[in-house]
Amino acid sequence: MHRLLLLGCLWLLAAPPVSSIFQRPTGTPAPLRLQYLLEPLHPTVHTQRGATATLPCVLRALPRNYRVKWSKVEPANYRENIIIITNGLYHKNYGPLSPRVHLRHSHRYDASLTITDVALEDEGQYRCQLVNGLDDESISLTLHLEGVVFPYQPSNGRYKFNYHEAKRACEQQDSRLATYQQLYKAWTEGLDWCNAGWILDGTVHYPIINSREPCGGRLLLPGVRTYGAKDKQKDRFDAFCFTSALQGQVYFIRGHLNFKEAGQACRNHGAAIAKVGQLYSAWKFSQLDRCDGGWLADGSVRYPITTPRERCGGLPDPGVRSFGFPSKEMRTYGTYCFVG
């Protein structure tokens, strides 16, 4: 018995302390703890196009000879573009955001970034980095624009865009290629579309609510289905565009107008014929609801429905309905105009 007790004591003396039994394996770096930067309370900042948004970055202490660098991660090429660098006394702006950004600097520890007149391309991930020799640290924040995603194809049919053409087509319609997060959110809100389309990072997807034969079959579960990354030059698909709130108004002019007359009717009122993205924005944010088909700038004819009813297409869900691209000589429709 005494021998057993003695052996037990010797084992306890030889055994490593409890904390060391559960130590991290050799070569695994410990997670870095922020020493100077405060962790943001809300890492996502919500805003709309045209608004002013502030991304918080606050220091708890000011190290010697430090710099704070703000940058934005671009999903299309995975690059990090510098926006502004400051040492607390002086700062320098960089890149296309330069005219619209400044440091809030509400106190000496505040390095928060303020973006004025927020644009569609401002959405995304931002990084505030404290550059302090070997003790660099950073926080990541997301600027999220409230908006709407819509599928888009040209007048000559489906699957005509390579990536660059899809990007340009969205921009021409007062929108931009959607991100995956925007497309996924649109799917959760009811976007159901059988044609695959480009998104901003160069991948191709399509969102399905109701599984059906022409769209991958009935056995596949609903979801955002993916074709993955495709050749941006050679492969051809539709586009998923994203737009946000308007700084202006979309309204309807009744009449039996061909496409040319529709444009002139808008100009007679000091406006321009509306773009597809502007109509979607007015439908989403201003609850524009009309049963009348009207010409748009791309030569398509559409109408926005917020309260579905039998005589307005008969579909049960709200949305922007389309008559496609009729002959521009037809005198059957009115027009939707936009005034900024």
Same domain, 88 and 185: no
CATH, residue 92: 2.60.40.10
- Torsion of Cα atoms, 205 then 212 then 153 then 265, to 10°: -130
pLDDT tens, residue order, the chain (340 aa): 334 333 333 333 333 333 332 244 445 444 457 889 999 999 999 999 999 999 999 999 998 889 999 999 886 667 899 999 999 889 999 999 999 999 999 999 999 999 999 999 999 999 999 998 767 899 999 999 999 999 999 999 999 999 999 999 999 999 999 999 999 999 999 999 999 999 999 999 999 999 988 888 888 889 999 999 999 999 999 999 999 999 899 999 999 999 999 999 999 999 999 999 999 999 999 999 999 999 999 999 999 999 999 889 888 999 999 999 999 999 999 999 999 9
Residue 133's pLDDT is: 75
Q: Mind giving me the DSSP string for 150-195?
A: EEE--TT-SS-B-HHHHHHHHHHTT-EEPPHHHHHHHHHTT----S
> In this structure, is residue 272 part of a structural domain?
yes
Residues 245 and 255: beta-carbon distance below 8 Å: no
Residue 180's pLDDT is: 95
Same domain, 239 and 283: no
Same domain, 258 and 285: yes
Domain stops at, among 102, 127, 145: 145
Kindly report whether the global pTM for this prediction surpasses the value 0.75: yes
Same domain, 271 and 326: yes
Same domain, 306 and 287: yes
> In this structure, is residue 12 part of a structural domain?
no
Backbone angles phi, psi at 80, to 5 degrees: -110, 115
> In this structure, is residue 20 part of a structural domain?
no
User: In terms of residue numbers, what domain contains 77?
Assistant: 37-145
SS3 content of the chain, % helix, strand, coil (to 5): 20, 35, 45
> In this structure, is residue 82 part of a structural domain?
yes
Domain stops at, among 93, 115, 145: 145
Residue 132's pLDDT is: 85
Same domain, 195 and 95: no
Same domain, 277 and 233: no
> In this structure, is residue 5 part of a structural domain?
no
> In this structure, is residue 14 part of a structural domain?
no
Domain stops at, among 243, 258, 291: 243
> In this structure, is residue 84 part of a structural domain?
yes
Number of domains the chain is built from: 3
Look at residues 72, 202, 198 and name the one whose alpha carbon lies nearest to residue 143.
72
- Separation between Cα atoms, residue 158 and residue 229, nearest integer Å: 19
Same domain, 91 and 166: no
> In this structure, is residue 28 part of a structural domain?
no
Same domain, 67 and 94: yes
Same domain, 49 and 141: yes
Residues 272 and 266: beta-carbon distance below 8 Å: yes
CATH, residue 233: 3.10.100.10
Q: If DSSP codes are grouped into helix, strand and coil, which group holds residue 261?
A: helix
Strand order through the sheet with 124-131: 44-47, 137-145, 124-131, 67-74, 79-86, 91-93
